Structure formats: structure tokens, C-alpha cells
């Protein structure tokens, strides 16, 4: 069984796991699909139907984009900042708040500095990709939509055992939590499924349905690859075929060295404090902009500073300069920023605020 890191951000906390009792209807309101079971699939197992099999990491992403676009989601671009998970994208964190409907899907490059292994580990990376879907309010058939996305990437539901395993989610840094499930295919986690209950200390009303796919993990399984660096990134029959390692092996080596041994901790500590100060300064500004005469609450610029602080914390953690006691204090400081940003977003038109 491939043992990739958890799908959530580096500071996510997993709750106890319990297999959801499966009947004709699961608690998610959709059908459980059960076929031939491989609890510990052999290396190189191919999950796909022969006539519908994707041939590359790139094709799996394109199929997910096409599928969720066909279901009405806006296909967004990755957020242009260093984040620990796709959940940190404001299209999820902030848009899960407020009363306005929302439906978005996107790929998000994510970073977990402590997970770097110099590109040598077959399934552990400090930089990786997630596919994120957030729909508000959560549709009653979200589970069926998710299962349809697996079929879209070539997974034959008649041959594989799909289970939803209880795994409620919490992000201490975002002050967020939700009722959730890991999705297992033949005994291996391939996605996470969460109903957001709270973000930044605010209740989510209506509740959003969120899906997180660990793209490398899922693609390795679908393509039957044992080492992530050997995975075909584009079509192996293209004029210039490239593997995942052709693109990322060098950068994994470089960033692992920098994350663990070289990053200047004095500079990082200063940047953390600067992000805190700037976040507070942004949110302290009057909502009425004197230049335009418009009411402009700057929730997103402030949230950028929160994201910066979170990533800097993760780098400091990788450098080994944060004690157990300090760790909790830093998490609390980032959580305070996230709550202030959530408070600000709730006062915006995007959240349904009426002046």
C-alpha cells in the first residue's frame, strides 16, 4: 500500500478513523460502490479500464478539470503563494464563509517543507499538487459527483472497493473544522471528503462540500507507478515525453537542502513578525476608501499575510528551531490572523454582507 503523507496541510489534525457502515445509502446520501477488493494491492496495480486509461499525470488533471467544469464549477487557477494545502486558497478558506453560493475547482501546488526527501523517497515530497473542489451549498448528490470523477479518470467501479472512512478534519491554523471522510480505494486513501462546519471561528452557513485529491498519490495508483519520479508527466508517446522526475527531481533536492539546512532562521523570524504587523495594519484601515469613495474591506490582502506567516512557520519547523511549547504559540498566532481575516471577509459583499 502506498504510504503518501496525509492529504491535508502540514498542520491539519486527523481525528479517529472509523469505517462508515455501508448500506444502500451511506450517510453522504449516495450509493456505495463495491467490487472486487484488494486490501493491499500489489505494486503496479492498474485501477483503470483498459479502453479508458489515462496515460499521464497531466491527463488525469485535465480529465478532472473537464469533469468538474461540466458539473458547473468555475475552474480557477492556483493561488500564487506558498501554501501548505489546497484548503488555504482563499477560494476555499474565505469562500466557504458567508451566504453566497459558490462552486469552484482548481489545482493547487502545495508545500510541506518537513516532508522533503531529496527526491529519493518513492512517495514523499516537499512540493506536491492537490486538486480541490468546493461547492456551497453542498449538493445532496455530492458523493455521486465525486464517484463520477473517479470514473472520469478511468477507475472501473465494478472492479474496486470504494469506502468512505470517518476522518473529521481540523486545521488549528485556520480555526477551521469539518465532518469528513477519507475515501479509500482498495484499502488506500485517494481523497478526502469534508462538510465544512467552521472557518476562522465562524459557522459555515450554508455548509460547503469540499473534496481534496492528492494528485500524485492518486495518479501513481491509477497509472500503476511505484516511484513518483518515474511517473509520466505528459503523454509517453509525445515528441518530448517527460517524467515527473525530469521536471521535479532537481528542485526536490535543492529545496530539501534549503528547507532543512540553509534557510536563514533570523530572516524567517523577522518575516513572520512583519507578516503579523502588516496583516493587522491592513485590517485596521477604515472601510471607506478616501480615494474612490467606495467601501472596500481588504480581507484578501490581509489573508495573504496570514498565508505568508503560515508558510514561514512551516519553514521554521523544518529548520528545527521551534520547540514544542513555541510550536503551539506560533499556531495560535497564525490562527488569530486567520480569524481576523475571516471577520473582515464576513463584512464584504462577497460574503453576502449588506451595507
Q: For residue range 119-132, list pLDDT tens digits in order.
A: 999 999 999 999 99
**Cα distances (angstroms) measured from residue 61 to each of 28, 320, 348:** 25, 35, 33
Boundaries of CATH 3.30.930.10 in the chain?
A: 13-253
Q: What gap in Å lies between CA 351 and CA 355, rounded to an integer?
A: 12
Task: Please answer whether residues 204 and 197 qualify as being in contact, where contact means their C-beta atoms are separated by less than 8 angstroms.
Answer: yes
- The contacts of residue 30 (CB under 8 Å, 6+ apart) are 141, 142, 143, 144, 146, 147
- % residues pLDDT > 70 (the chain): 86
What are the pLDDT tens digits along the chain (355 aa)? 333 344 543 333 333 333 333 222 233 333 333 333 333 333 444 555 556 799 999 999 999 999 999 999 999 999 999 999 999 999 999 999 999 999 999 999 999 999 999 999 999 999 999 999 999 999 999 999 999 999 999 888 888 888 999 999 999 999 999 999 999 988 888 999 999 999 999 999 999 999 999 999 999 989 999 999 999 999 999 999 999 999 999 999 999 999 999 999 999 999 999 999 999 999 999 999 999 999 999 999 999 999 999 999 999 999 999 999 999 999 999 999 999 999 999 999 999 998 7
**Does the structural domain 13-253 have CATH classification 1.50.10.150?**
no
Q: What gap in Å lies between CA 210 and CA 162, rounded to an integer?
A: 18
Q: What gap in Å lies between CA 218 and CA 304, rounded to an integer?
A: 29
**Does the structural domain 264-351 have CATH classification 1.10.357.10?**
no
**Cα distances (angstroms) measured from residue 192 to each of 164, 165, 174, 246, 279:** 9, 9, 18, 29, 31
- The contacts of residue 98 (CB under 8 Å, 6+ apart) are 345, 346, 348, 350, 351, 352, 353
Q: 205-214, pLDDT tens digit by residue?
A: 999 999 999 9
Q: The whole model's pTM is what?
A: 0.86
Boundaries of CATH 1.20.58.180 in the chain?
A: 264-351
Amino acid at each position: 500500500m502506498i504510504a503518501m503523507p496525509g492529504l491535508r496541510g502540514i498542520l491539519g489534525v486527523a481525528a479517529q478513523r472509523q469505517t462508515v457502515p455501508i448500506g444502500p445509502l451511506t450517510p453522504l446520501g449516495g450509493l456505495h460502490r463495491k467490487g472486487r477488493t484488494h486490501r493491499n494491492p500489489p505494486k503496479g496495480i492498474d485501477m483503470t479500464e483498459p479502453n479508458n486509461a489515462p496515460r499521464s499525470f497531466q491527463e488525469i488533471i485535465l480529465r478532472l478539470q473537464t469533469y468538474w467544469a461540466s458539473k458547473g464549477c468555475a475552474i480557477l487557477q492556483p493561488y500564487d503563494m506558498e501554501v501548505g494545502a489546497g484548503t488555504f486558497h482563499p477560494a476555499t478558506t474565505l469562500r466557504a464563509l458567508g451566504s453566497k453560493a459558490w462552486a469552484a475547482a482548481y489545482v493547487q501546488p502545495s508545500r510541506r517543507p518537513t516532508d522533503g526527501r531529496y527526491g529519493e523517497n518513492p512517495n514523499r515530497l516537499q512540493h506536491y499538487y492537490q486538486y480541490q473542489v468546493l461547492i456551497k451549498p453542498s449538493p445532496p448528490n455530492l458523493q455521486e459527483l465525486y464517484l463520477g470523477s473517479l470514473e472520469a479518470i478511468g477507475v472501473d467501479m465494478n472492479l474496486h472497493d470504494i469506502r468512505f472512512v470517518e476522518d473529521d478534519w481540523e486545521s488549528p491554523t485556520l480555526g477551521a473544522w469539518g465532518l469528513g471522510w477519507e475515501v479509500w480505494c482498495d484499502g488506500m486513501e485517494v481523497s478526502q471528503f469534508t462538510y465544512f462546519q467552521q472557518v476562522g471561528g465562524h459557522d459555515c452557513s450554508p455548509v460547503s462540500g469540499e473534496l481534496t485529491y492528492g494528485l500524485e498519490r492518486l495518479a501513481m495508483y491509477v497509472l500503476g507507478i511505484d516511484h513518483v519520479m518515474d511517473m509520466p508527466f505528459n503523454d509517453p508517446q509525445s515528441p518530448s515525453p517527460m517524467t515527473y522526475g525530469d521536471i521535479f527531481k532537481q528542485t526536490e533536492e535543492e529545496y530539501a537542502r534549503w528547507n532543512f539546512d540553509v534557510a536563514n532562521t533570523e530572516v524567517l523570524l523577522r518575516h513572520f513578525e512583519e507578516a503579523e504587523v502588516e496583516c493587522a495594519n491592513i485590517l485596521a484601515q477604515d472601510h471607506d476608501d478616501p480615494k474612490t469613495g467606495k467601501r472596500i474591506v481588504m480581507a484578501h490582502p490581509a489573508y495573504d499575510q496570514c498565508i505568508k506567516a503560515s508558510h514561514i512557520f512551516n519553514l521554521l519547523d523544518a529548520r528545527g528551531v521551534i520547540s514544542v511549547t513555541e510550536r503551539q504559540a506560533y499556531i495560535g498566532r497564525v490562527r488569530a490572523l486567520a480569524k481576523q481575516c475571516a471577520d473582515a471577509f464576513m463584512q464584504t459583499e462577497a460574503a453576502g454582507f449588506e451595507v
